[in-house]
Amino acid sequence: MSEPIIIARDVHKWYGHFHALRGISMEVHRGEVCVIFGPSGSGKSTFIRTLNRLEAHQRGTIIVDGIELSHDTRNIAAIRREVGMVFQQFNLFPHLTVLQNITLGPIQVRKWPKAKAEEVALQLLRRVGIPEQAHKYPGQLSGGQQQRVAIARALAMQPKVMLFDEPTSALDPEMIKEVLDVMIELAQSGMTMLVVTHEMGFARAVAHRMFFFDQGVIVESGTPEQIFENPQQERTKLFLSQILHHK
Amino acid sequence: MSVLSPTHGEVLPPPTERYTVLGWLRRNLFSTWYNGLLTLLAGGLIAWIVVPTWRWAGTEARWNVISDNFGLFMKGQYPLDQVWRLWLCLYLVALSAGLMWGVFVRRRELVGWVLLLIPVLTGVGLLLSGVRSWWQPLLMAGLGLGGVLVGRGAPTALRRPTLFLFVLTFPLCVLFVRGLDGIARMPRVPTNLWGGLLLALLITVVGIVVSFPLGVLLAFGRRSSLPVVRTLSVLYIEFIRGVPRITLLFMGQVMLPYFLPPGLTVDRVIRAMVAVILFSAAYMAENVRGGLQAIPRGQYEAASAIGLNSLQTTMFIILPQALRAVIPVLVGQFIGLFKDTSLVALVGLLDLVGIARGVLANPAYIGRQIEVYAFIAVVYWVFSYGMAYASHRLEKALGVGQR
Ligand SMILES: Nc1ncnc2c1ncn2[C@@H]1O[C@H](COP(=O)(O)OP(=O)(O)O)[C@@H](O)[C@H]1O
Ligand SMILES: [Mg+2]
């Protein structure tokens, strides 16, 4: 595989006295799809949010696409241009239409002309399967449609890496598939993806590697085959048996 | 006992209610015995107040005190040969309001309201002219209506010109009213001649337009991460909010000159405007802050994640949502500001109340307090209700609370 696009070395993060990340190290290569899973509160969200500096890490090194994340705001801006993010709660802008949600970043940040941004946005909406919703407001869409708009919004910036933080956890069961289908297509197109999810079917289908988080550390990592067929750690086994039985 | 409901599973129209006057009365006014009692009591109370008032207004009241001094109430001592400039302002306002309506309020069902605009504009115009001249109000209504129709005709093409005109309307009006020394046909009218409704409206509009951006800045200042900015904002806001308006008005009259370089004098109307602005900005800041607090953290995070900087996040994501959420509160504040301009009479300015005191001091109109103050109340009410109504439509057009 090629050089890593994300390098995290010994990343630590505290909330007050609470040690939320206790030395996370991971490398993600271009085109790789990585799934992060683990119990609630184990630091999964905190970790992927440090990658685009929605949270600042306090120790260790994070390098994204050759740029080291530090307090330098120019570096932060540069990295955010390359990293797209999809949130559990969609976080669409409710006062803007779907089209405006998608074109805002390209127009304001990438300085594209409006016509070009809209053309790209419409292509993306076709790609996520909802071209007919372009002129509606987020509040008029279903959860699954909103999350697909959020994916299109992130893709419109033409990022090199996409981060997903439990993108299907807030969705009704019948809408999970429509979002996962879009994500699977994206993975197959060669996008580098870091996905926090408990959708093990998705992990089996497209993940190259999986990371099991617990209490702020990576307890175990490996290919989906290794993790599902032959987990090494007791905690991994226990957690997998719990979520696989509950599904 | 029916075995099976025969309509089971069919798609049926909703049940229709037969609508009769009696049915309505029973449902709304006499649904229970205590509801009926309340209806009767309320009806009695209304009759007790309205009937004598009506009788007084029609027989005893002598309204000539209003019609004799109508011009005074509307515009104070503004020179009669310059009144055309005020009309010019009204034409401009009517045109740009009409265009704004036509271009931005795109709902079908609102066309009916547009038709309502004609009599309303005509009415306001007639009120302002004292029915003495008929063509100015008609021209004003025509311009308003024309603006609406033209705006609806080419909404996309007219977007920019309309916004441009709307933004220009306010400074142009101030310029027309005030005039310029250099222009022969539009000589300067000193502010001590501004009066009546004209003065009240000018103080209101200047107060709103200037205090609005100040208030927004203060609201952000109060949330700033820089301690100096935050502390100064808090001190300012809390000082102003802890002081009665009238004190500030007096302080503006007495103390403002001390803060200005010697030789620079500011007339009393401007001093009153400054006081109103300072006051309004603090309240505006608190209202806007309420809107800012209602924005969830996810909005900031999503904006950061697509790479917007903090200025862009504020302008495109945070402020539009925050302001939309507080439109009703802000309009309430604007209405309060308008009504409180009546306080400037206490520092000697001749707004509606100031004029009223002058008129009542005239021996010819002795004992006409009720007529005069009732008239002023109606004028204030018309404008306040107009603002409240417009804001209500605006909220609906923007879909506040729906999205
Ligand atoms: N802003 C915050 N302030 C304080 N504690 C936080 C904050 N965000 C997360 N935490 C704590 O950090 C831990 C990890 O949180 P998170 O990364 O959200 O977990 P996960 O996404 O794996 O469920 C949790 O114990 C959580 O309570
Ligand atoms: Mg989480």
Indicate whether B3 belongs to any domain: no
Indicate whether B73 belongs to any domain: no
A216 lines ligand 1 (CB under 6 A): no
Give the pLDDT of residue A200.
94
| B329 and B248 fall within a common domain | yes
Q: Using 50 as the pLDDT threshold, list the residues of chain A that sit under it.
A: none
Indicate whether B132 belongs to any domain: yes
| B216 and B267 fall within a common domain | yes
Indicate whether B67 belongs to any domain: no
The answer to whether the complex's ipTM is over 0.90 is: yes
| B329 and B224 fall within a common domain | yes
Task: Report the alpha-carbon distance of residue A140 to residue A117 in Å, rounded.
Answer: 23
At which of B157, B188, B219 does a domain end? Answer: B188
Give the pLDDT of residue B259.
79
pLDDT digits (tens, 9 = 90+) for B95-147: 998 888 888 776 655 555 655 665 566 566 555 555 566 777 778 888 888 88
Residue in B closest to A73 by C-alpha: B309
DSSP state, residue B362: S
| B100 and B56 fall within a common domain | no
A69 CA from centroid of ligand 1 (Å): 21
| B179 and B268 fall within a common domain | no
| B221 and B268 fall within a common domain | yes
Give the pLDDT of residue B403.
46
| A165, β-bridge pairs | A196
User: Domain containing B29: what range?
Assistant: 14-60
Judging contacts by C-beta atoms under 8 Å, the chain B residues touching residue A52 are 304-305
Give the pLDDT of residue B130.
53
Indicate whether B342 belongs to any domain: yes
Give the pLDDT of residue A239.
95
| B154 and B233 fall within a common domain | no
CATH for B335: 1.10.3720.10
* Number of domains making up chain B: 3
Question: Measuring CA to CA, which residue among B287, B374, B373, B399 is closest to residue B336?
Answer: B287
Residues of B with CB under 8 A from a CB of A: 298-299, 301-309, 312, 316-317, 320-321, 324, 399, 402-403
Indicate whether B253 belongs to any domain: yes
Half-sphere exposure of A46 (CA within 13 A, CB side): 25
At which of B188, B221, B242 does a domain end? Answer: B188
Indicate whether B154 belongs to any domain: yes
Instruction: Write the residue with the smallest CA distance to atom 24 of ligand 1.
Output: A41
Residue in A closest to B299 by C-alpha: A91
Give the pLDDT of residue A201.
93
| B374 and B310 fall within a common domain | yes
Task: Report the alpha-carbon distance of residue B204 to residue B337 in Å, rounded.
Answer: 6
Indicate whether B345 belongs to any domain: yes
| B179 and B210 fall within a common domain | no
| B299 and B374 fall within a common domain | yes
Phi and psi dihedrals of A161, rounded to 5?
Answer: -135, 140
Q: Using 50 as the pLDDT threshold, list the residues of chain B that sit under it.
A: 1-2, 401, 403
At which of B159, B188, B217 does a domain end? Answer: B188
Question: Measuring CA to CA, which residue among B279, B210, B276 is closest to residue B242?
Answer: B279
Interface test with A, best of B306, B395, B402, B403 (most A CBs within 10 A): B306
Give the pLDDT of residue B255.
81
| B226 and B349 fall within a common domain | yes
| B350 and B391 fall within a common domain | yes
Structural contact between residues B289 and B223, judged by C-beta atoms closer than 8 angstroms: yes
- Which of A80, A89, A137 comes nearest B305 by C-beta? A80
**pTM to 2 decimals?**
0.83
Nearest ligand 1 atom to alpha carbon A216: 14
Ligand closest to A213 (CA) is 1
Residue in B closest to A155 by C-alpha: B306
